[in-house]
A and B are shown apart, each in its own frame.
Chain A
């Protein structure tokens, strides 16, 4: 089964016919360091062709976040923007459509986005209220069949998913794939985008990510969130940035860093069939190893089954 991807022109291919993915883990102890240089040096290790292109950074801006523990930190977003510009991108836009808070400007202001980013106009796009276009979904995991997506997303040459490293009380974890819920426009589907819940979170996630595929992912794991995420959990300093050219592989690596078994996370397990690699042997690791940065995250009781054994060796299905 081979289908063409709507956004990047890359085929949707089963894992066995896909080349190995690359994931980089970089240490970053806090948000005050030179993240831009760190990201630029790391991005150079990937064959990203962004010269003259339009790049859309899709952070996870959930809601007002004065303490800086819920949303992707603006320092990481600003550093990524600068890095892609250094690599020759023509335009780097930042866009998200918060799921619960309609006042996107309030979200941006409480997290002090302007301080890191400069003027929000015209590079910042509220994806909830962008112009939209109807797109047939590339897969049939849910019964949705089609969704309206923002023109800014569909017009970007490269979509970069930029989540925060967090647990999620419905999906287990919220990483690169779950972050793509934010591209679904509230203007059409509301706040929250409840039609996706009715379609089934896992199934909707697969359909969205198969149709508008993020070509790259950068996860803010400098301070993550454990427990009752994505908004009411506990801040979890983890001191890493995780980058990669395969969002499934990036999410799997992040799950392992969190001490979770990616094969047990429903949407990741399903995504591995068509969207990317889950198994460590198919992921070329750059920078730090998982074991060196592993920081077990607390999860709510409903997700205890996701946790790896304390010996830390429960990384693949053979061990289950």
Chain B
């Protein structure tokens, strides 16, 4: 990839020719919807919460098309029907415990204008969901165990975990922060503000020494962890309200450099979304996605296709609000 251009030009496409997003991504997502209204990770797979959320967020920007609006309504209804009594969402229907997909469900429903109270209950659950590592006993245990000298991090800084009661990690924490910033502050529980601050501090604590993030281990055995594209993009998006901080700029520079070498469409689309949100120039996306699509057809992944659609779309509502909210 070469030829640096502003992100807004990258998804314009040739005049008179439908864009890759319109030709491939949106039809794929429309056709991949299951009869029950949800989406599986791949077409003809069981509906699951995460792919349904990403598909809805990708399609939400195209709701002016009647067939996509209908798909969104069915998807929203499916999602609403899968909420657990405690307000959370499980990874797959039928599972009894809520997990990391809960902020994604809240984000998607919020984007679709849901006012049923489902998102409020989801937010409430998230504000009460503490990871396991910060309790007194866990900190004592960690201090006495081998891991305390191996993994250099401040376990009193807590975000959110993948599954209830386990450790904080970068991506689930970033998802919750992004979701919370999409809500009006007055609509959030009072303790949400404190949790946001703690989670932001946790993300900065977990940043790799040379910028960027991996899943959440900046040091193991004294060796600096190597950042990965997707966690870096999510962390930067979640910390966009601190865009001028040195850590953000350092990580952004790492991402911009890594962007040229990305070989997976999901990572490429997320990196592009992130760079665009920060107003950083990035090489054209559409041709690169077309090339990757020709190789493996994105492995028919619904989330990856949704990321591509969002990165190619002229606007991405939930990210726009995130960025706008940060500047207010």
Contacts and interface: CB of A to CB of B under 8 A. Distances in A.
Contact of A190 (B169, B214, B303): B169
Contacts of B264: 103-107, 109
A48 interface: no
A198 B165 contact: yes
Given A114-B296, A190-B100, A190-B172, A129 B42 contact: yes
A106 B167 CA distance: 26
Contacts of B72: none
B171 interface: yes
Q: Select the residue from A64, A134, A194 with max chain B CB neighbours within 10 A.
A: A194
A110 interface: yes
B229 A120 contact: no
B187 interface: no
Contact of B221 (A102, A109, A131, A300): A300
Contacts, number: 126
B299 A169 contact: no
Interface string B261-274: 01111110000000
Given A169-B220, A300-B221, A191 B171 contact: yes
Contact of B266 (A105, A148, A197, A231): A105
Contact of A191 (B95, B162, B299, B304): B162
Contacts of A195: 162-163, 166
Chain A: interface size category = 35 or more
Interface stretch (B16-24, B44-52, B249-257): B44-52
Interface in A226-257: 228, 231-232
A129 B266 contact: no
A188 interface: yes
Contact of A105 (B172, B226, B298): B298
A169 B150 contact: yes
A188 B165 CA distance: 14
A131 B91 contact: no
Nearest to B132: A198
A187 interface: yes
Given A195-B163, A198-B166, A228 B171 contact: no
Contacts of B229: 103, 106
Contacts of B266: 102-103, 105-106
A187 B166 contact: no
A147 B300 CA distance: 26
Interface in B277-307: 292, 295-301, 303-304
Interface in B217-271: 220-221, 223, 226, 228-230, 262-267
A266 interface: no
Contacts of A189: 162-163
A120 B215 CA distance: 26
A311 interface: no
Interface in A94-109: 100-109
Contacts of A114: 295-296
B91 A187 contact: yes
B220 A63 contact: no
B65 interface: no
A120 B263 contact: no
A188 B228 contact: no
Contacts of A126: 41, 299, 301
A105 B289 CA distance: 13
A192 interface: yes
A302 interface: yes
Contact of A100 (B132, B162, B215, B292): B215
A63 B228 contact: yes
Interface string B122-151: 000000000010000000000000100010
Nearest to B42: A129
B267 A100 contact: no
A105 B262 CA distance: 11
A136 B303 CA distance: 29
Nearest to A109: B263
Contacts of B41: 126, 129-130, 187
A194 B166 contact: yes
A105 B40 contact: no
A121 interface: yes
Interface string A58-78: 000001100000000000000
B204 interface: no
A228 B223 contact: yes
B161 interface: yes
Contact of A109 (B166, B169, B295): B295
Given A130-B41, A131-B40, A191-B171, A101 B161 contact: no
B92 interface: yes
Contact of A106 (B163, B165, B214, B267): B267
Which 4 A-B pairs have CB atoms at the shortest separation, nearest pair first?
A190-B162, A106-B264, A103-B264, A129-B41
Interface of A: 63-64, 100-110, 114, 119-121, 124, 126, 129-132, 134, 148, 169, 187-195, 197-198, 228, 231-232, 300, 302
Given A103-B304, A194-B161, A194-B162, 20 more contacts: A101-B230, A103-B229, A103-B264, A105-B292, A105-B296, A109-B295, A114-B295, A120-B296, A121-B296, A121-B297, A126-B41, A129-B51, A130-B41, A131-B45, A190-B99, A190-B161, A195-B162, A195-B166, A232-B221, A232-B223
27 contacts: A64-B263, A102-B266, A105-B264, A105-B296, A105-B304, A109-B263, A109-B264, A114-B296, A119-B296, A121-B297, A130-B45, A187-B91, A188-B92, A188-B95, A188-B99, A189-B162, A189-B163, A190-B169, A191-B162, A191-B215, A194-B166, A194-B167, A195-B163, A195-B166, A198-B132, A228-B223, A302-B146
